[in-house]
Amino acid sequence: MKSHNTYVKVRYAETDQMGVVHHGNYADYLEIARLDWLDTLGVSYRSMEKEGVMLPVYELHFKFLKSAMFDDQLKIVTKLKKIPSVKIEFDYEIYNQDEELLTTANTVLVFMDTHSRKPIRCPEYVLNKLKG
């Protein structure tokens, strides 16, 4: 499925006194990568929200293999797991500048109507971008 690489440099504020990235920052890294993936596809999350569609996180899973450190240049590989329906699922791999695999992750998000807060199907224009 569609895969995209996003690059993030670890900031000092994201680390503890030992220079290790705090685990809570990884959710932010995935969000940065997901939005970048959508932008590359030609879909603006801001436009989706203006059209009444939001994508809250339903599931979030991490496997931490090795620590990311202050000043590391992270490569986040974002892969769409399958064609979305009501849910959209991504797998991620996070590497450092030495191409060491640090973390694997998975998210499931749900397409929801902004006003009713009820699940809806993936917008047709997103599906068209994935097929095109």
- Give the residue numbers annotated as catalytic, written as ranges: 16
> Burial letters for 89-123: b for 16+ Cβ neighbours within 10 Å, e otherwise?
bbbbbbbbeeeeebbebbbebbbbeeeeeeeeebb
CA distances 74 to 48, 71, 101, 124, Å, are 28, 9, 10, 33
Annotate 52-88 with b (16+ C-beta within 10 A) or e (fewer): ebbbeeeeeebeeeebbebebebbbbbebeeebeebb
